[in-house]
Each structure stands twice: as structure tokens, then as C-alpha cells.
Structure 1
Amino acid sequence: MPVAQTKTKPKLVIYGCGGHGKVVADIALACGLAVEGFLDDRALEGKRVFDLPILGGSGWLEMRRSEVSVALGIGENRARCRIYKLCERLGMTPITLIHPTASVAASAQVGAGVVIMAQAVINPDARVGNGAIINSGAIVEHDCELGAFAHLSPNATLGGAVRIGALTHLGLAASVLPGKTVGEETVVGAGAVVTADVPPRVVVTGVPARVQRQLETT
């Protein structure tokens, strides 16, 4: 499958030590990678999570950038985007991780810094933007486009030729019908079914999904 090629150094650090970071670390280990530990700007250096040490934060990475690769272990879209851009400023490209049980079609295009979790499916000619998350059991059907730093929660499903904007988040088991578009920075609630195009920067919930409120522009 065409995945953004990044040279993986022998040591890997996971940026983000919360629950999402644990899952990302587990995927890395399942792929046979050596995980050095976690980085986190808000956690105590030296503490252990998932039986791995918290090594430090952005300062640690700046000092050791030539020695390690980075995987994105942050579930919140904007925070993940911020760390991706930090890595870029340091001359690094976050690696892409794909769980061994995920199914990714040979013709799918997967960007840098993407995490594809257990039992996820990405079908032919789908395109997944940099830093996106395809969570456990999520399905991206043929010809879909998923914007950078978007997040499909566990069991979310995109029908064929769906367009999802950058920084958009689909909740648990949310679905988007074929050919529909969800704008950037939008939140689709858990279990919602999107049957019509959704504008940018709104929250939608329900079956069928309806706009509940507008999100502030940042």
C-alpha cells in the first residue's frame, strides 16, 4: 500500500501518554518496533505509563531529534496537529503506524503520521491525510477522502466516495452515507447517521444527523 515513506530510527517515542498514546504504543510493539518511551508536556518526567517511561516533553525531543522517530499518540485533533508541526519545525516527519490486523488496500494512499488501529479497513483508492486517526474497527470505503488530522472513532463508517474535512471528528459508530461531504473542524456525534452534506465547524447529532450548534472559528 502507498504509505508516506519515513525513515524509522531504531528508537521510537510516542508523543502523548494518555489512553490514546497507550494504544499507539501497543500498535508499535505489535509491529515489532522498539518503543523508548513517551513524551508529554504535561506529565511528570520519570513516571511510567504502560510500563514505559515518560522521557520529557518538547525540549527532550529538540535535544534528541537525531536519535529517535516519533509517533503521534494524541487523540485530540488540534493538539495532534500542533505536535506534528513541532516535528516539522525540528526537521522530523512523524511515522505512520498500521496495526497488523488492519486491512489497507494496495491502491489506498495514507499520509505521514497516520495511525490505523486494530481491525480497521481502508478500501481501494481511499486517501487519508497526514496525522489522521482511523480508530479500532473503523471503515473507510472506496474513493473516500479523509482530511489531515481528522479522527474516525471506533466503528465509525464512511460509505463510498465520502469527503471528510481536516480536523473533523466522527464519534463512536457514527456513519456517513455514500457521496456525502462533512466540512472541516466539524464534530459528528456518536451513533449519528449523516444523510446530507454537513457544513464546516458545526456539531451534528442524531439519525438523521442534524446541526445542533455552530463551533467558534479559531
Structure 2
Amino acid sequence: MEQKRENPRLVVYGCGGHGKVVADIALARGLRVEGFIDDGVQAGGRVLGLPILGGAAWLEAHRSEVGVALGIGENHARRRVYGLCEALGLVPATLIHPSAVVAASARVGAGVVVMAQAVINPDARVADGVIINSGAIVEHDCELGAFAHLSPNATLGGTVRIGALAHVGLGASILPGKSVGEEAVVGAGAVVLADVPPRVVVVGVPARVRR
């Protein structure tokens, strides 16, 4: 697995619940978290005892001093902030919880967050900005498109393909060799037995298109 050297001083972009978990991962890895950046929250408050420093303007002013991690769970908003970071010359940090298991042959892109007890098995490919949430399993030879999100305890069988910006819900399972199209949503607990088209919502066992 390719590892990028992180700035030991880090800010987390997004101070909601997802941002808290991202900050906790950074702290567990021994990084110094300076605080949070959030465009929708007034500076001066505190989350997890860490300061809310400001919004995008603060990051632009301090971009040479800190690294940045993506603390936003919603896929499209995370992609937007990733683009902002790129425009400022920043590569978002890849954060992997110490309890996660990532195979040496897996490839993990920039800005990816891998949470506690998640598993990424051999020759999986995880593109930029993906979230592999707590306890999720990515089996061998899977491919996850940019800014996709696997919710807690979601399971991908071998050689599954997940499209960019897709969201796989809590505890959902995708059978080996199946694909989920771009921007599709797989509902919580669903079991996907057939390919899922782009930009649809599927639910149930077996999963069927709801809209």
C-alpha cells in the first residue's frame, strides 16, 4: 500500500459527527490536530476540546502551515472541498485507523479515510476521497470510485465495482463480481444480487430499485 507522508499538524475540514471520527483517527495515529475548519459554523467554538478555527479563508491563509483531512460525510460536498484543497495546493491526508487492516498490495488514494476495524484485502483499489467506515469489508480485487462511501459494516465481495459518489448503506452486502453505478445508493441492510445502475436507490433483500 502506498503511504503519503502527512504534515504532523493537521486540521479537519468539517466539524460534524463525521469530522469528529476523522479527528479521532488522526489523534490515534499520533498526529497533532490543530482544530476544525467549517464554512457553516462560527469560529471560536470547540469540538472534542479542539477549536473551530474558521472556514475556507482560514485554510487559505494558513495553507503552508498545516495539512488537511476531509471530515465531511456527504459525497458531493466532500468532492467540492477536495477540489478547494487542490486549488490551494494541498493534498488531503489519507487517514487509516490503527485497528484497520489494509493489505500490502491494496492501493489507497489521497483523502481516503479508513475507520476502525475496517478491512481492505489484496489488490483492492480505492480512489481519492473514499470513506471506508467502521467495520466495513472490501474484499480482494474490488474497485471503489472517487468519493464513494461504504457505511459501517458494509461488505463487498471479491471483484465488486463501486462507482464514483455511490453510497453503500449500513450493513449492506454486495455479492462478488457485482457493480454499483455512479451516484447510486444501496439502502441499509440491502443484499445486492445483480448490478445496480447509476443514480438509483435500491433497497431490500434482494435489493430492488426503489427510485
Does residue 15 of structure 2 align to residue 17 of structure 1? yes
CA shift, 1:8, in A, is 2.2
Separation (CA, whole Å) in 1 of partners of 2:125 and 2:135: 17
Two-structure CA RMSD over aligned residues (Å): 0.6
- Verify: 1:164 aligned to 2:155, yes or no: no
SS at match of 1:60: helix
**Which of the numbers 50, 53, 68 marks the counterpart of 2:51?**
53
What residue in structure 1 maps to residue 2 of structure 2? Answer: 2
| Aligned partner of 2:180 among 182, 186, 189 | 182
Corresponding letter in the other structure for 2:162: I
Once residues 18 and 93 of structure 2 are traced to their aligned partners in structure 1, the CA distance between those partners, rounded to angstroms, is 16
The code of the aligned residue for 2:143 comes to E
User: How far does the alpha carbon of each residue in 1:132-187 deviate from its partner, in whole angstroms, 9 at most, with x for none?
Assistant: 00000000000000010000000000000000000000110001000001000001
Amino acid at match of 1:47: G
Amino acid aligned to 1:125: D
1:152 to 143, 150, 161: 150
Query: In structure 2, what residue type is equivalent to 1:51?
Result: G
For residue 210 of structure 2, give the secondary structure of its aligned residue in structure 1. Answer: strand
State yes or no: 1:102 paired with 2:63. no
Aligned to 1:72: 70
- What residue identity is the alignment partner of 1:205? V
Query: Take 2:2 and 2:86, find their aligned partners in 1: how far apart are those partners?
Result: 21
CA distance in 1: counterparts of 2:49 and 2:171, whole angstroms? 31
Q: Report the residue type matching 1:144 in the other structure.
A: C
Identity %: 77
Q: For residue 92 of structure 1, report the CA deviation from its aligned partner.
A: 0.6
How far apart in 1 are the matches of 2:71 and 2:114? Answer: 12
Matched position secondary structure for 1:155: coil
Q: Moved runs in structure 1, 4+ residues, more than 3 A?
A: none
SS at 1:14's partner residue?
strand
SS at match of 2:36: strand
Once residues 181 and 95 of structure 1 are traced to their aligned partners in structure 2, the CA distance between those partners, rounded to angstroms, is: 28
Aligned to 2:34: 36
Once the two structures are TM-superposed, the CA of residue 44 in structure 1 deviates from its matched residue by: 1.3
Q: Which amino acid aligns with 1:124?
A: P
Q: Which residue of 2 aligns with 1:216?
A: none
Q: Give how far 1:2 is off.
A: 2.0
What is the aligned partner in structure 1 of residue 126 from structure 2?
A: 128
Q: Which runs of 5+ in 2 are unaligned?
A: none
> Aligned-pair distance for 1:25?
0.4
TM-score by length of 1: 0.96
Normalised by the length of structure 2, the TM-score is 0.99
CA distance in structure 2 between the aligned counterparts of 1:9 and 1:151, rounded to whole angstroms: 25
Aligned to 1:85: 83
Task: Name the CA distance, whole Å, in 1 between partners of 2:158 and 2:8.
Answer: 38
**Counterpart residue type for residue 145 of structure 1:** E
Provide the aligned length of Structure 1 versus Structure 2: 211
